[in-house]
Amino acid sequence: MAVPLDYNSLLVAIGFSSAGLALTFFTSWLVAKTERFLMTWSVGLMLIMVATLIYAAFLQDFVPILGATAFSLLLMGLVVVMAAGRQFRTGVLPVRAMAVSAALSIAPMAVPMLTGYIGIAFIALNLGATAILFATAWDYWLGRAEARTPILLLAVLYALTGVSFAACAVVLIAERQWIIHEAPVNWVENLNLAVSLASTAGIGALSLALNQSRLARGHKLDAETDALTGLFNRRALFGKVPGDLAAPIAAIVFDVDQFKRVNDVHGHQAGDEVLRVFGDLLAANTRRSDVAARLGGEEFALILPATSLDEALLIAERIRMRFARHGFTSEAGALTCTVSAGVAGCDTGRTGRDEMLRAADAALYSAKQSGRNRVVSTVIGADQDVGRVA
């Protein structure tokens, strides 16, 4: 029986769609080669495209070796696409999972195909594809926190495509088509091709949009992050902390003591290590609501919402003490560093961000003038500019 024109048309459309998406992903990878999952996606789609071409040849003569080759490449392509989704989520290509998935899906199909039980081979193909597509959908579901709507849509599309493959297997099993001499062509097969075509386009568009969204977030993060310490930079601090603040709120400005001497005696590499360690210490002593930033050079700031002046003093003193206990080494010998801190707090009413930072900076200046390695505080709105020493 001749294969209907609409079936062949859908098959050709899937092949062209896969090839076009593979080229798009490959081009995107050329622009951003650090995004390796783009290349993985491209390889998976190319395997699906080649599998479609060989399957079309198989339909003409029904030669088992062609069928086994086409189905193997299709399953391998789906496995690679699944791996691309995992790589996108985790940054790691799951090579072992790929090998196991390919072996478990290809072997149950290839053996009956090559021994004449072509109907069973079709059933095994559909069940294998179903399992791989459901696994891919589940993997995306696990990563939904990154971008909930597009990732949920991707999971749904993969799952729906898996359901369409499962339906093909169910029909073949129900009709007991263990040995066949022509392609199983029915409404379920046509539906499977139509769903696969629509899903390929939808998955491609969503995947590209998701990647562009991640790149945009990455560029924004790079622009807001201090490269040495990983903390926010001055620009990000002013962008994330509003100009008008409600009490209780506190700000701490830190400055590494005699940092120029560290660079002069121990070298800039040692100086960078000192700043990195202090940045890590600052990050380790912040809550989700706090904003820690490197203002420039050896100066850092910490904005503490819902924090009283007394609480901020304890935090600043804890950081000062821990930093003073940390030892460093360089080619010039061992060294320890200290930090001075100015704390400004507003326990009632409202205050301005800039006013608070200026007050904390003034308290820091007082700490420097009075001997360094200490914490000095000031109360916003108080009569005196600079208050107690911790």
Q: What is the pLDDT of residues 256-267, one digit of tens each?
A: 999 999 998 999
Rounded Cα distance between 347 and 1, Å, is: 85
**CATH 3.10.450 holds for 5-224:** no
In this prediction, what percent of the chain has a pLDDT beyond 90? Answer: 50
- Average pLDDT of span 23-50: 85
Same CATH topology for 5-224 and 232-379: the answer is: no
The residue among 209 and 257 whose pLDDT is bigger is 257
Check pLDDT > 60 for residue 5: no
For the chain, give every domain's residue range.
5-224, 232-379
- Average pLDDT of span 128-146: 91
Q: Look at residue 198 in the predicted model and tell me its pLDDT.
A: 83
CATH code of domain 232-379: 3.30.70.270
Mean pLDDT of the chain: 87
Judge if pTM exceeds 0.75.
no
Q: What is the pLDDT of residues 260-303, one digit of tens each?
A: 999 989 999 999 999 999 999 999 988 889 999 999 899 999 99
Check pLDDT > 90 for residue 255: yes
